[in-house]
Amino acid sequence: MKALKNIVSCKRAERTISRRGMMIAAIAAALAGMAVPAAGQAPAAKRTIIRAGHVLNVRTGELRANQAVVIEGDKIVQVAPSSEVKAAPSDTTIELPNATLLPGLIDMHTHLTFELSSLSYEGLKISTAREALHGARNARRTLEAGFTTVRNVGAKDYADIALRDAINDGDVIGPHIVASGPAMGITGGHCDENLLPPAFHFQGEGVADGIEAVQHKVRELIKYGADVIKICATGGVLSRGDDPNASQYTLEEMKAIVADAHRLGRKVAAHAHGAEGVRWASEAGVDSIEHGHLMDDAAIATLKKNGTYLVPTLFLGEYMEKNMDRSDVPEYSKQKMRDVAAAMQKNVKKAFDAGLKVAFGTDAAVYPHGLNAGEFHVYVKLGMSPLAAIQTATINASDLLGPKYLVGSLESGKWADMIAVDGDPTKDVTLLEHVKFVMKGGTVYKNEYTK
């Protein structure tokens, strides 16, 4: 009997627990039902309307008058005639009736954490922390110059990746950064550290020799945050003990680098001056050749055949011609600079005439940050139309970056990155050296029209 009573008691307890469980479940379901709509009812994105005197369609060159660009949050949702866009009381309206609006510019070859002095013996005294702070200052200068996106191809100790993350977190003002971290190179090459004596046994962070080592280095760079892989296919100008004409990585090493980088979703940018290094890098499958100043006809034909982008970095030649004797360029680099500068415009003009794909890049750090737009007039001088020059820093650069980056044009769905200038830059490209309005991600960072 006692056992029977215990069984009955247990059954009653189970029914009680079951009823309580059902009640708790019902209450939880009700609360969940209430919570789902609440979570779904996030505050509407802030809406901003920019009314501009003209908007440049960088794909076609059409300059449309009296246009409105509607922005929600950090993206463009509409570009239409101003008369068709009505503002709500809660909207923010920015009036630019005498300005020309165009997409934020893209520089595909910067070194934000470097100054020219960083590349000489003076650079040995600069800590990584100090270089990162240099980068914060230079990032702001670059953004205010109208460059809302940059590709930073080479920095010490991943300082550019820290800078990118600080900008993304809102701690520092600057452009969108596609960062490489340390550039890869061979022992003793352009991307090694060649200024210290043998007793130090010191090498650059990106140094890797041989197929197995370069594969490991690519994976390590990506592990620590690299968005793009930068390699040195030839010697350079502002480095000690190497020859810009000489190839450095072998074709096989570069093929291994590209295979790993592409498989892991990263593009590869190859510093290359000399013709053989340009050919090998293109045949290895790199996405862009940086500089290409000592190319020959065969190298140009190889880039054309493979559809490899050229990032020419030409304005530095003009700047150095005027300023090298009073600059921080070390003595061991001055003659190399003169030799390369004498050839760069002739060879790159051949590349332009051959119809190569070109993306805008400056090598900012070799000359002061913020002067990036000086690159445009050199392209025009070598035969590009002003519109084609603008396209190198908008739709072409966007294509080279890839679809992850919603930049390069003023279209619905793209990031709200845009600049404004006086006049028509398709007639005078030097207007881009005097940007008066800068918006990045829907936030205004510069507006001289309100003064």
Instruction: List the catalytic residues.
Output: 230, 363
CB 163 within 8 A of CB 190: no
The dihedral sign for the CA sequence 257, 174, 128, 123: positive
Return the DSSP state at 88.
P
CB 410 within 8 A of CB 69: yes
Go through the chain and tell me how many residues it has: 451
Helix (H, G, I), strand (E, B) or coil at 212: helix
CB 421 within 8 A of CB 157: no
The count of C-alpha atoms lying within 13 angstroms of the C-alpha of 150, restricted to the half-sphere facing its C-beta, is 34
Strand 437-440 relative to strand 443-447, pairing: antiparallel
Is 407 exposed, middle or buried (CB count within 10 Å of its CB: 0-12, 13-18, 19+)? buried
Strand order in the sheet with 309-311: 228-232, 267-274, 288-294, 309-311
Residue whose C-alpha is closest to residue 92's, from 435, 444, 379: 444
Residue whose C-alpha is closest to residue 337's, from 354, 358, 323: 323
